[in-house]
Amino acid sequence: MIKPFRALFLLGLLTVGAAARAEFVVQITSGQSEATPIAIVPFGAPADAAAPFDVAQLVSDDLRRSGRFAPMERKDMIEQPHLGSAISFDDWRRLNNDYIVVGQLTAQGPDRYNIVFELYNVLTRQRLLSFQISANTAGLRLASHQVADMIFEKIIGVRGAFATRIAYISVLGHLPSKTYRLIVADADGANPRVVMESHEPLMSPAWSPDGQSLAYVSFEDRLPSVYIQTLKTGERQRVSARAGVNQAPAFSPDGKKLALTLSTRDGNLDVYVIDLATQGLTRITDDPGIDTEPQWSKDGQSLYFTSDRAGGPQIYKIALSPGSRPRRLTFQGAYNARPRISPDETQMVFVTQEDGAYRIASMDLNGRNDVQVLTKGRFDVSPSYAPNGAVIIYASRDNGRGVLALVSSDGRVQQRLVAPEGEVQEPAWGPF
């Protein structure tokens, strides 16, 4: 049934690391009414030159995109201090700000800058943060995301996830010649890089827990294979090209194993686990229905997965210990599939069918199993948690085109990330 393990080491065949031409446009479709008002004052620039990067703008964009903040418009600022000692707190309070951020970008030599910033509570005039980050020109964007992360964590109490990355599939062109790209970009969609390009479908990108590699499915041989590709070098390893289905890879929390879906000769899909060091294969499920879309529990001892053993697709959980029986988790509705588990494993998101539409739903995993439908589209699929669990990115449709969208884990903040070209699908949010 299972062919001997075959591994091929290849250099990434195509355009590894090439920049993709795509700047996402963020559209906030619904926000939170109690978003915290904050003023991010434009940063002071090096004395002798124009600022090489608008730190305050990016910080402001990140915080607005989180849905938890309402950054003040620049044009409404009556003054622009760069130091805490220059802040007239009464003025900023009259403009209804709860917090204010001031800072400077200073040149420290050729291609070397310091970002110095301070965060104040406008009401108490208390300084909450004072920090300095060093970066070269190319690193200023990442450093600015880190500034936003620190502000977010200080005020909200949850680690920020602005300085993280997403992977997704982009499909360009039309039948019969399409180009499929696996892309890695910053969490805000900036800096897209092509990791893999093919004229046959690419599917199901999944991050390694250390953020160094992606597992994915490629049909480049007109048959599905699961690959693991190291992002820095482009080196690829084919980890499964068995007869039949090779799908739905998911790294274990320790990165040492890969759960995936394989099929028997007569087409029965079940979930398996490959030990990446020994290449040993363990069958986890054994049922004539479709068992697929595995996801690991936080402790690495169980798998969540989709199965239609009871008729339509529903979500189950099974312990990896031999002889375990799966337990069904979803009972509401006829179609619940593709679970993703929140980083603290208190919540799960999945795709549910409602009024003929496919939408993202969440379910508490605390025993009460409350289900909440988070989105309102017709084709909302492929949810993926930010590593802080606060936001879920998913694939949606905008005027017939595949786009990425974001929803807060409580459903209250919704936004779209619209790429200028192509169909965008299957986002996977990388680790911290």
Partner 1 sequence: MKRLLAIGLLVCGTALLAGCPKKPTVSEPASTTSQVPASSATNGTGNGPSTSVSPYGSDTGANGGPGANGPLAGRVIYFDFDRAEIKPEYADLISTFAKNLVAHPNLKLRLEGNTDERGTREYNIGLGERRAQAVRRALMLQGVPEGQLTTVSFGAERPAVEGDDESAWSQNRRVELVYLP
Which contiguous run of DSSP H or E holds residue 57? helix 55-65
Based on the shown chain and the rule CB under 8 A, indicate whether residue 400 belongs to the binding site for partner 1.
yes
Instruction: Convert 273-295 to b/e letters by CB count within 10 Å (16 or more is b).
Output: bbebeeeeeeebbeeebbbbbbb
Q: How far is the CB of 309 from partner 1 (least distance, A)?
A: 12
Q: How far is the CB of 102 from partner 1 (least distance, A)?
A: 46
Based on the shown chain and the rule CB under 8 A, indicate whether residue 351 belongs to the binding site for partner 1.
yes
Minimum CB distance to partner 1 smaller for 203 or for 413: 203
Binding partner 1 (rule: CB under 8 A), the pick from 44, 81, 244, 389 is 244
What is the residue type of 332? Q
Question: Using CA atoms, how far apart are residues 236 and 230, in angstroms rounded to an integer?
Answer: 7
User: Which residues inside 250-269 make contact with partner 1, applying CB under 8 A?
Assistant: 261, 263, 266-267, 269
Q: How far is the CB of 206 from partner 1 (least distance, A)?
A: 11
- DSSP labels, 11-33: ---S-TTEEP----EEEEEE--T
Identify whether the C-beta of residue 362 lies closer than 8 Å to the C-beta of residue 370.
no
Binding partner 1 (rule: CB under 8 A), the pick from 42, 139, 201, 209 is 201
Based on the shown chain and the rule CB under 8 A, indicate whether residue 397 belongs to the binding site for partner 1.
yes
Q: Residue 190 burial (CB < 10 Å; 0-12/13-18/19+)?
A: middle
Given the rule CB under 8 A, which of 17-25, 155-163, 227-235, 240-248 is the region that contacts partner 1? 240-248
Could you give the C-alpha distances from 39 to 58, 68, 89, 147, 317, in angstroms and in order? 13, 14, 12, 14, 46
Based on the shown chain and the rule CB under 8 A, indicate whether residue 371 belongs to the binding site for partner 1.
no
Question: Which of 218, 226, 227, 224 lies closest to 199 in space, CA to CA?
Answer: 218
What is the residue type of 52? P
SS3 string, 180-231, reads: EEEEEEECCCCCCEEEEEECCCEEEEEECCCCCEEEEEECCCCCCEEEEEEC
Based on the shown chain and the rule CB under 8 A, indicate whether residue 427 belongs to the binding site for partner 1.
no
Minimum CB distance to partner 1 smaller for 133 or for 248: 248
Based on the shown chain and the rule CB under 8 A, indicate whether residue 5 belongs to the binding site for partner 1.
no
Based on the shown chain and the rule CB under 8 A, indicate whether residue 174 belongs to the binding site for partner 1.
yes
Q: Which residues pair with 281 in a beta bridge?
A: 274
Binding partner 1 (rule: CB under 8 A), the pick from 381, 391, 404, 417 is 381
Question: Using CA atoms, how far apart are residues 16 and 195, in angstroms rounded to an integer?
Answer: 5
Based on the shown chain and the rule CB under 8 A, indicate whether residue 131 belongs to the binding site for partner 1.
no
Q: How far is the CB of 338 from partner 1 (least distance, A)?
A: 4
Based on the shown chain and the rule CB under 8 A, indicate whether residue 394 belongs to the binding site for partner 1.
no
Binding partner 1 (rule: CB under 8 A), the pick from 208, 240, 297, 306 is 306
Q: How far is the CB of 243 from partner 1 (least distance, A)?
A: 8
Based on the shown chain and the rule CB under 8 A, indicate whether residue 335 belongs to the binding site for partner 1.
yes
Based on the shown chain and the rule CB under 8 A, indicate whether residue 382 belongs to the binding site for partner 1.
yes
Q: How far is the CB of 242 from partner 1 (least distance, A)?
A: 12
Minimum CB distance to partner 1 smaller for 100 or for 183: 183
Given the rule CB under 8 A, which of 24-32, 186-194, 230-238, 239-247 is the region that contacts partner 1? 239-247
Supply 216's token pair. Answer: 């994915």
Q: How far is the CB of 174 from partner 1 (least distance, A)?
A: 7
Question: Using CA atoms, how far apart are residues 2 and 335, in angstroms rounded to an integer?
Answer: 30
Identify whether the C-beta of residue 363 lies closer than 8 Å to the C-beta of residue 347.
yes
Based on the shown chain and the rule CB under 8 A, indicate whether residue 74 belongs to the binding site for partner 1.
no
Residues near partner 1 (CB under 8 A) are 174-175, 201, 203-204, 219, 222-224, 244-245, 247-248, 261, 263, 266-267, 269, 290, 292-293, 306, 308, 312-313, 335, 337-338, 351, 353, 358, 378-379, 381-382, 397, 400, 425-426
